């Protein structure tokens, strides 16, 4: 089937949601993307950056507009109860079976860009060049980099602007646009703490890495509260702790996985130095025989939206979408690697938020405080309960991408 109608795209969305795939495993998703793009006239290249797909539609002189969507899912067990909920699982890079869910909305991003691809291909009024990038592995923070390293811009040309959107749990019909720093930079670390294992009944003969890990976890929480000023931004989260396999055995090591979000490069550098200082200091204090290892697993910069591009997209959305609400969502401490595409190309970026919640419960909002409270009560991205309302979110997402692209492509 070549999906062209709104109903067809709803079916595509449900299908992608039911069959999520982890980063660099998006083979089925990429195949659906490539088939659809070819069916509406794009020149398609698959396998860019392992599983990425690039679609080109060239109509001669004019701007080149890069529209980007990410395709990967998360190792989350879905609890939405939806009839199209995912029950899939897969083997991850560590060889462990994990559940799968589109808990961040990348299925919405992919389907909306497919819809925009059709709408723009059917519109004879524009000139220029469309460059559609369906990116793998955003959740790993390496998908954009992998496509760039695979010659994205050398092979397909340099765009004049990078555009995209991210679904978020606020009312559909509202869009969040922010000029300047919009999404935080992201760093992740894998820390291995080494102790000296032994019998659980004789801790005096050991160096317990679990107690060491507990000390490190508590001390790391003081970085943001005591070393980052109230006027600065940083978020430090320990998202994974693994040690031991039995109640009566003190293990030899413990592993922590840490996420850091920041905006100011100076704050980022200060926090990273503090992480290293605390980890090494606590290991020394515990009498560990071996230095801990600190592996910087990934790093990508803050998404900084260009002021002029933000104004142009704002004007395009308000002109093209009746009743649209455009708000400034403030700095988002979540992160996105889309900024790397613009940075590598040396061009402006404009990445906005797409409201994805059913707007009906927000009809009688009485104040900004009331709105914030209702939004805060909704399941957030990465929650096992996260589920955008397909209608009206999907058609609005299609319209937004199309309108934004045309702001550069209209003669």
Could you list the residues known to form a binding site for Mn(2+), using ranges: 104, 106, 139, 166
245-250 own/partner pairs: CB under 8 Å, 24+ apart? 247/200, 248/199, 248/200, 248/201, 249/197, 249/198, 249/199, 249/200, 250/195, 250/197, 250/198, 250/199, 250/200, 250/203, 250/206, 250/208, 250/209, 250/210
Q: Within a 10 A sphere around the Cβ of 239, how many other Cβ atoms?
A: 9
Place of tokens 């100076």: 266
Question: Distance between CA atoms of 125 and 57, rounded to whole angstroms?
Answer: 14
Return the sign of the alpha-carbon dihedral for residues 359, 361, 365, 371: negative
- The binding site consists of 104, 106, 139, 166
Residue with tokens 């660099």: 24
Neighbours of 21 (CB within 10 A): 22
Gap between the Cα atoms of 389 and 11, Å rounded:
14
Could you tell me what percentage of the chain is helix, strand and coil, using 3-state DSSP and rounding each to the nearest 5?
35, 30, 35
Closest CA to 282 of 208, 363, 339, 344: 208
Q: Would you give the DSSP letter of residue 225?
A: H
Cβ proximity of 67 and 113 under 8 Å: yes
**CA 356 to chain centroid:** 15
Q: How many CA atoms lie within 13 A of 355 on its CB side?
A: 23
Taking the C-alpha atoms of residue 283 and residue 366, their distance in angstroms, rounded to an integer, is: 53
């Amino acid at each position: 089937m070549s999906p062209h109608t709104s109903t067809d795209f709803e079916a595509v969305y449900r299908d992608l949601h039911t069959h999520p795939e982890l980063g660099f495993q998006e083979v089925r998703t990429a195949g659906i993307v490539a088939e659809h793009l070819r069916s509406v006239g794009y020149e398609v290249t698959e396998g860019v950056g392992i599983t990425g797909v690039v679609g080109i539609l060239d109509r001669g002189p004019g701007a080149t507009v890069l529209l980007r969507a990410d395709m990967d899912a998360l190792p989350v067990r879905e609890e939405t109860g939806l009839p199209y909920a995912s029950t899939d699982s897969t083997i991850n890079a560590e060889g462990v079976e994990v559940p799968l869910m589109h808990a961040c909305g990348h299925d919405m991003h992919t389907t909306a860009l497919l819809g925009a691809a059709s709408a723009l291909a059917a519109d004879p009024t524009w000139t220029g060049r469309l460059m559609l990038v369906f990116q793998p592995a955003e959740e790993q923070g390496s998908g954009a980099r992998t496509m760039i390293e695979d010659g994205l811009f050398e092979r397909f040309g340099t765009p004049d602007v990078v555009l995209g959107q991210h679904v978020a749990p606020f009312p559909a019909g509202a869009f969040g646009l922010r000029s300047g720093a919009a999404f935080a930079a992201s760093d992740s670390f894998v820390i291995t703490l080494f102790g000296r294992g032994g019998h659980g009944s004789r801790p005096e003969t050991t160096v317990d890495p679990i107690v060491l890990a507990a000390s490190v976890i508590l001390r790391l929480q003081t970085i943001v509260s005591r070393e980052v000023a109230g006027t600065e931004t940083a978020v430090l989260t320990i998202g994974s702790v693994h040690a031991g396999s039995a109640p009566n055995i003190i293990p030899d090591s413990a592993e922590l996985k840490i996420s850091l979000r920041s905006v100011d490069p100076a704050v980022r550098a200060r926090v990273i130095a503090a992480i290293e200082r605390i980890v090494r200091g606590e290991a020394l204090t515990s009498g560990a025989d071996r230095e801990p290892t600190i592996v910087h697993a990934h790093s990508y910069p803050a998404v900084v939206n260009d002021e002029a591009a933000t104004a142009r997209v704002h004007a395009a959305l308000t002109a093209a979408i009746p009743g649209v609400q455009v708000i400034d969502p403030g700095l988002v401490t979540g992160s996105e690697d889309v900024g790397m595409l613009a940075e590598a190309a040396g061009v402006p970026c404009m990445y906005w938020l797409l409201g994805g919640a059913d707007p009906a419960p927000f009809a009688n909002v009485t104040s900004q405080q009331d709105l914030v409270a209702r939004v805060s009560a909704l399941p957030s991205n990465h929650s096992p309960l996260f589920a955008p309302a397909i209608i009206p979110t999907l058609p609005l997402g299609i319209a937004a991408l199309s309108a934004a692209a045309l702001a550069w492509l209209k003669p």
